[in-house]
Amino acid sequence: MITVGIVGGTGYTGVELLRILAQHPEARVRAITSRKDAGTRVAQMFPSLRGHYDLTFSDPKDADLGRCDVVFFATPHGVAMAQAQELLGAGARIIDLAADFRLQDPALFERWYKMPHACPDLLREAVYGIPEINREAIRKARIIGNPGCYPTAVQLGFLPLIEAGLVDTRYLIADCKSGVSGAGRKAELTLAFAETSDNFAAYGVAGHRHLPEIVQGLNRASREPVRLAFTPHLTPIIRGILATLYAPLKNADIDLQALYEKRYAGEAFIDVMPAGSLPDTRSVRASNTLRIAVHRPPDSDLALVIAVEDNLVKGAAGQAVQNMNLMFGLPETVGLMAPPVLP
């Protein structure tokens, strides 16, 4: 039984970890911390968990997280890197759902997150947690930088094209649409129902923090430098990301369907849909599956890829548990096989 600690479990990724781990036969949450809500019962804050957890939020300093086998950070950026050294020293492994261990270049981290990196040494050791790209490294990792929600969909969506060198990487476009939970569990006017419902808008066009993370990942797979226009939009749904990806094909004569099916053959959580499919976000709601469809728009030399995921599962907590399974030698799918919730 893997003993689990969760730091900062009052946000949506935290409660999603709790939901997923409640079903996991080989893991048990032993402590969950929240400075602000220490002393509150988990099931009081989240009545959906009544009967599933008897835990109480504890103050970080009382939680003795070092005794856990693995500690998930479902915190704002900057928290995990401050505690990583101590936890590793105590023998725990770390899966950070924030950005502290995603960008390999500390200078890039500083530029986008406006804070110095607290442990560049550990950053070098950290593994970027997309199993379909880094599976072997994840198995051995002590620290996982769990990817952002957009980066998971965009990288896995573009990857086969880029690995195969089939597209002009100077003109990549990721037109992405996210549900509102992606912005976190926050008291902000811009996230209010009366502001976001029955409304649709782009945001972060001038530079979203997920842009450098995506470009880093695509550059690793690409022979030529990647330039990406990344346009996130907010759509009035709770969960779900749909990424519409465009890339100019160097050579029109290529079987994209076969390329994708081959690249992701055997992947339990990547579903390359039949040719002509148009995946919708609800088809992955509350599940760890990422569905992909590849298209060729009529009268065009572009590849069009549509990828959908649940931003809180494959885009966050589910992928984190997938990484945990790998790190502890379990089958990757343990605790993650519940079908999506539809309708």
- Residue closer to a second copy by CB (options 64, 203) is 203
Tell me if residue 179 falls in helix, strand or coil: coil
Let me know the angle formed at the C-alpha of 274 by 270 and 275, rounded to the nearest 5 degrees. Answer: 120
Contacts of residue 193, defined as CB under 8 A and 6 or more positions apart, other chains included, come to none
Tell me if residue 279 falls in helix, strand or coil: coil
- Residue closer to a second copy by CB (options 93, 177) is 177
- Residue closer to a second copy by CB (options 163, 271) is 271
Strand partners, 176: 232, 243
Phi then psi dihedrals of residue 79, to 5 deg:
-80, -45
149 counts as catalytic: yes
Which of 68, 119, 149, 176 is the catalytic position? 149
Task: Please tell me what DSSP assigns to residue 314.
Answer: I
Let me know the angle formed at the C-alpha of 238 by 159 and 217, rounded to the nearest 5 degrees. Answer: 20
Answer yes or no: are the C-beta atoms of 96 and 143 closer than 8 Å: yes
User: H or E stretch including 55?
Assistant: none
Nearest to 11 by CA among 154, 150, 144, 188: 188
Cα–Cα distance measured from residue 72 to residue 137, given in angstroms and rounded to the nearest whole number? 18
Task: Please tell me what DSSP assigns to residue 309.
Answer: E
Let me know the angle formed at the C-alpha of 32 by 119 and 183, rounded to the nearest 5 degrees. Answer: 70
- Residue closer to a second copy by CB (options 81, 103) is 103
Tell me if residue 320 falls in helix, strand or coil: helix
- Residue closer to a second copy by CB (options 42, 159) is 42
Tell me if residue 2 falls in helix, strand or coil: strand
Taking the complex as a whole, the smallest distance from the CB of residue 87 to a second copy amounts, in Å, to 27
- Residue closer to a second copy by CB (options 21, 80) is 21
Amino acid at 129: G
- Catalytic positions are 149
